[in-house]
C-alpha cells in the first residue's frame, strides 16, 4: 500500500507542477509576438507563406525549423532545412525582402536550385 500512496503523491505533485507551469504567463513570447505583429503591419516582415514559396524556388530541402529574430531594427528569418540525404542546411533570409543572406551546410551543390 505504501508504494501506491507514493505513486499517487508523485502523480499529484507532477500534476500540480504541470498545472503551475501552464498557468505561468510567458511574457517574453507574448512581447515577441506583439513585436512581430507590429513589424508585419509596418511591412518590415514578409509572411511565412511567402518565405516558404521563396525557399521552394531556391532550395530543394524541407524546412524543419524557423526562427525570426530582430537585431537593430532588421528582422532575419533563420531556417534549418534537411535535404534528401539528411544533410542539415542553415539559411538566413532578410525578412523584409526575403533575400538570402547566408547559407551553410554540406553538399550545397545538391540543394541550391538553378534560377529560372
Q: Residues 41-65: pLDDT tens digits?
A: 899 999 999 999 999 999 999 999 9
d(CA 62, CA 54): 12
pLDDT at residue 24, as a whole number: 41
Rounded to two decimals, the pTM is: 0.72
pLDDT at residue 32, as a whole number: 74
Beta-ladder partners of 76 = 69, 94
pLDDT at residue 28, as a whole number: 60
Instruction: Report, as ranges of residue numbers, the positions in the chain whose pLDDT lies below 70.
Output: 1-28
d(CA 101, CA 84): 23
Q: What is the largest CA-CA distance in the chain?
A: 72
Nearest to 96 by CA among 61, 33, 59, 47: 47
CA distances, 103 to each of 16, 43, 90, 110 (Å):
44, 24, 6, 13
Amino acid at each position: 500500500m505504501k508504494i501506491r500512496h507514493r505513486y499517487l503523491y508523485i502523480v499529484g505533485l507532477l500534476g500540480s507542477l504541470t498545472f503551475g507551469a501552464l498557468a505561468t504567463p510567458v511574457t517574453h513570447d507574448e512581447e515577441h509576438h506583439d513585436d512581430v505583429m507590429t513589424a508585419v503591419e509596418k511591412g518590415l516582415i514578409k509572411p511565412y507563406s511567402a518565405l516558404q514559396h521563396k525557399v521552394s524556388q531556391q532550395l530543394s530541402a524541407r524546412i524543419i525549423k524557423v526562427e525570426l529574430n530582430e537585431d537593430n531594427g532588421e528582422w532575419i528569418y533563420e531556417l534549418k532545412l534537411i535535404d534528401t540525404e539528411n544533410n542539415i542546411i542553415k539559411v538566413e533570409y532578410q525578412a523584409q525582402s526575403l533575400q538570402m543572406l547566408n547559407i551553410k551546410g554540406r553538399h550545397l551543390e545538391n540543394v541550391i536550385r538553378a534560377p529560372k
